[in-house]
């Protein structure tokens, strides 16, 4: 990801990971509006996840995007499932 912020910002996203070659669906949860558009870039990331079979299995994860003005990119970190407390998605 290129430079998204001129100050330190972070945002949370839900990521729906699908089997290989299928892009993820990404939903913005919270954070400054200036990095809301990063959802498109996160959806293009490849997640190294093993799926149990060839069925339409999907994995829902929550992650934090952290952007520093001193860096040319941002870091996206998946939160361990045991640490996640889900919030209601906008519009649901």
> What residues does each domain of the chain span?
9-81
Provide the pLDDT for residue 91: 63
Q: Cα separation of 20 and 48, whole Å? A: 9
Give residues with Cβ within 8 angstroms of 81, minimum separation 6: 61
Ramachandran quadrant class, 13 (left: phi over 0; alpha: psi -120 to 50; beta: rest): beta
Model-level pTM?
0.76
**Do 43 and 25 touch, CB atoms closer than 8 A?**
yes
Q: Among candidates 75, 69, 78, 68, which has minimal Cα distance to 47?
A: 78
**DSSP label of 86:** -
- What number is the average pLDDT over the span 74-79? 90
Provide the pLDDT for residue 5: 62
1-45 pLDDT tens trace: 445 567 789 999 999 988 876 677 999 999 998 888 889 989 888
Mean of per-residue pLDDT scores for the chain: 81
Residue 80 clears pLDDT 60, i.e. is over it? yes
């Amino acid at each position: 990801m290129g430079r998204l912020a001129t100050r330190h910002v972070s945002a949370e996203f839900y990521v729906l990971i699908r089997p290989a070659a299928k892009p993820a669906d990404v939903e913005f949860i919270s954070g400054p509006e200036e990095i809301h558009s990063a959802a498109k870039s996160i959806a293009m990331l490849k997640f190294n996840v093993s799926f149990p079979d060839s069925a339409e299995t999907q994995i829902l994860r929550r992650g934090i995007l952290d952007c520093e003005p001193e860096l040319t990119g941002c870091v996206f970190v998946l939160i361990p499932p045991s640490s996640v407390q889900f919030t209601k998605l906008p519009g649901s």
